[in-house]
Amino acid sequence: MKTPRLSLTASTALALAGFTLLPLAQAVKAQQTPALEEVVVTGSHIRRKSQFDTPSPLSVVDRADMLDQGASTVVDVIKNLPENSGAEFQVDNLTQPLTSGTSNINLRNLGLGSTLVMINGQRHTLSAVAATDGSSFVDTNSLVPFIALDRIEVLKDGAAATYGSDAVAGVVNFMTRDDFEGVEIQAKYQSVDTGSHSDSELGVIWGGGNDTTHLVLAASYFDRDPLQSNEREFTEGTALSSLGQPGTFLTSEGFQVDPACGVSGGFVRASGFCGFDYSPYFDLSPEEQRWQAFGKLTHDFSETTTGTLEVSYADTEVKVIASPSFPFSTFFPTVPAHNPGNLWGEDAQFFGRVLGADAGPSVAVNEYETARIAGSLDGSFSAGWYWTLNASYSEQEVFYDKGDVLQERAVAALEGRGGPNNDQYWNPLYDEKDDPAVIADMFGSTGLRGETSLYTVDGIVSGDLMEISSGTVQAAFGVHYRDEELSHDWSDDFNNRAFLNLFGGPDYSGSRDVYALFGEFAIPLGDTLDMQVSARYEDYGSGLDSLDPKLALLWRPSEQWSVRGSVGTAFRAPSLFQTIATQATQANMYDPLSDSTVYRSVQTVGNPDLEPEEADVFNTGVTWAPTDALELSLDYWYFKYDDLIVKQIPDVVVAQEVADTQAGLQGTDAQQRVIREAASGLITFVKTDFINASSAETDGLDLSWSYRFAPQGMGDFRFGGTWTWMNRYDLQEGPDSPEIDAVGSRNRLNFARSMPEWQGNINLSWMQDAHSAAAYLRYTDSYVDDGNNTKIDSHATLDLRYAYEIEQLGAGSATLAVGAINVTDEDPPTVIDLLGYDTKVHDPRGRMFYLNVTYAF
């Protein structure tokens, strides 16, 4: 049964923000606030009294929380944030082959590019590869070594007025351990309960200095053994293809299967083709190695001026297995009558692939190299004014390689002109063993070398602007410049569209400059009510610009209560990838003509005429802390998106093409986009576009709580939780399209991503003397697979951790921790798909045990 939907319009939101808080504030007496050191908070450029003194909802995951969760990578933390929905943190070499080894964040399921990711308050370059849906994102695997991470600040409110484009859904700011002193070494080993998969991680951090200079250095190495699909029962028989080896031949008498079909790994399908089960040829978690390093130097040049310099580096290599070779899909070659493998005495068309089960899996390689250097100078003027100058440069280079069969060489080999000397046959019959040199001669390389880079400069001044009757008005003003670049250089074979499966496409490159002006005011309206007004103008050139304001209120009627609200606008410019790229991917799509799911190439061409996404954003919330031990927080959020940039769904295009054909139409847009093989009628590839969808409107609730208690003689306990309820996500793909409610759906047939209605965590931790323990119960609601109208069950897992601290061990102290992830070994809910589970939501690895040893001195 669906939870009843709420409805709140932007006008209602403004009423709540503008008319509810002010009268309430006027009815409350002044409260005295003790003086505290001023800090810069994520979501503002004005120095505030504490990191929680903000009118926007801000949650913080500190290092102690990360360790309690048993985390050893950034992914281990961000994948469990309930507000992070529809992100990519698992490998899926069918729907995201180019991004294996990366991870990202998707606040509110508003898109991978709608969350701004920063390191210590500064932007980081986008990944050199884009998601299959065309989304550009920051690769959170490449930021800093996990051991150097102090906390993650999540601003769950639109922040375009402060930070510009990409901050529509919010901001995630990764903060490092800048004040660390001494040496800390951490080693962790984690292994699945059954199977060969394990993770090993080693990290070291050092920090030291004097009264004016401090240096922190950190490095880590992460190694992951693969977990393959044949090690999990839920993947058995989930991926079936009509194009295998043994294959199928089309003659004048109809389709003829290879005589070996049924006895050599193949089976005859209802369609008459010789089928192939390729479900054993997937990685659920791939082989992966990652080196990371980080350094930060802080120096006080004087009592008023401080400088910092940050350097980071990451090198990742991922090897992902797939089926022995791709099926022929863009072209189905002819086997001449004179080929030794032709049993029918006439030319026959071949449907299948070059290599079968006996060849073993193929391997794709993803390598990423990421570097970043950032510096800042901070100083102060007289009369309470501060200045900041920031500059950064970051880049990521990627190398990707995956072999595929070359059309020209396959045709030549079928005609007897194959091999290194152009004089050998390829016999497509399964039982005939070809010369390995003939097979090798038929394969080419995709050979992608890509690069993205980002150069940024910021100048900010902030301080006390004026005195008014209710207090001091503070202000911040700034300028911003950034240069973004993207380039992809593919192999000649890919450029020439020479492959039988991969469609290919041209190289491309581009760059753009972005300029911005911004301002912010913090205005006390009374002893208990503060107002924040901010605006940012951003110019991309060529007429693409935006001015985005934001109004926020923070009311503290007493020491126990805090009420906040904000309303504003936001925008996100099309990414460089969406405007200049030609993206060639593969996708499963349902073909009504053959009544089967087919795996085919999809080509999407960048659209330079895309409009920017625009959004109205509203948030209101309340925090209640009746005692120092208890705190509860509830927030309502609302986003109204227009002109969302999405990639057309191949299934939708194919369905429209079939409907047009059955209606007797000719030359329609859909019919021109779906290319079919003339003789068989099978789809060879589909053309899609990046488009501005009409709209998306979403809202929901965030709930969090924390309660601390200490029974006599039993230690200290903390009970807490974080939950997100997605109330509504109504979308339209075009002005005349029907409205779709995406909540509680996998959204296979639209541009949204998997969207359970409820997600959340409950945790209980305990500490006494040298002992500590933690338990995390994680829950994901059930939802519907709209591709086949089946239910995907809810999922709950339990994580446990126990740690013991040895205060004096040699020159330092040590902590030994043991734990288990998914203690009850719950399989991910079954999904009728090629991997048997939903890679955007669930973890396929099952129960995992770990040992974590930390030594500090």
Q: Reduced to 3 states, what is the DSSP secondary structure of residue 69?
A: coil
The pTM (predicted TM-score) of the whole model is 0.91
Tens of pLDDT along 100-116?
Answer: 999 999 999 999 999 99
Handedness of CA 163, 168, 170, 171 (dihedral sign): negative
Query: Which residue has tokens 């139409």?
Result: 665
* pLDDT of 38 above 90: no
* pLDDT of 22 above 80: no
Which residue did the predictor score with more confidence, 432 or 81? 81
Q: What is the pLDDT of residue 185?
A: 97
Q: How wide is the angle at C-alpha 253 spanned by C-alphas 251 and 256, nearest 5°?
A: 60
Q: What percent of the chain stands above pLDDT 90?
A: 74
β-strand pairing of 630-642 with 198-209: unpaired
Which residue did the predictor score with more confidence, 740 or 586? 740
Q: What is the pLDDT of residue 331?
A: 83
CA distance 355 to 428: 9
Q: What is the pLDDT of residue 37?
A: 54
Report yes or no: 749 and 786 within 8 Å, Cβ to Cβ: yes
* pLDDT of 813 above 90: yes
**pLDDT, average across residues 270-281:** 87
pLDDT-based confidence at residue 53 (cuts at 50, 70, 90) = low
Q: What is the pLDDT of residue 49?
A: 63
Q: What is the pLDDT of residue 4?
A: 39
Q: What is the pLDDT of residue 834?
A: 83
CA distance 260 to 430: 6
The per-residue pLDDT of the chain, averaged, comes to 90
Q: What is the pLDDT of residue 197?
A: 87
Tens of pLDDT along 313-362?
Answer: 999 999 999 899 988 887 889 999 999 999 999 999 999 999 988 888 99
CA distance 422 to 409: 9
**pLDDT, average across residues 402-427:** 94
Q: How wide is the angle at C-alpha 569 spanned by C-alphas 566 and 574, nearest 5°?
A: 140
Q: What is the pLDDT of residue 694?
A: 83
Q: What is the pLDDT of residue 434?
A: 81
CA distance 104 to 137: 6
What's the token pair of residue 74? Answer: 């950034």
What's the token pair of residue 539? Answer: 């110019």
Tens of pLDDT along 770-781?
Answer: 999 999 999 999
Report yes or no: 538 and 164 within 8 Å, Cβ to Cβ: yes
Q: What is the pLDDT of residue 91?
A: 73
Residues 6+ apart with CB under 8 A from 104: 87, 88, 89, 112, 127, 131, 137, 138, 139, 140
Considering only the C-alpha atoms of the chain, give the largest distance between any 2 of them, rounded to a whole number of Å. 99
Q: What percent of the chain stands above pLDDT 70?
A: 94
Element (H, E) at 655: helix 650-662
pLDDT-based confidence at residue 66 (cuts at 50, 70, 90) = very high
φ, ψ for residue 326, nearest 5 deg:
-65, 150
Q: Reduced to 3 states, what is the DSSP secondary structure of residue 429?
A: coil
What's the token pair of residue 564? Answer: 């906040």
* pLDDT of 689 above 80: yes
* pLDDT of 14 above 60: no
Q: What is the pLDDT of residue 741?
A: 94
**pLDDT, average across residues 255-262:** 90
Tens of pLDDT along 479-517?
Answer: 999 999 999 999 999 999 999 888 889 999 999 999 999
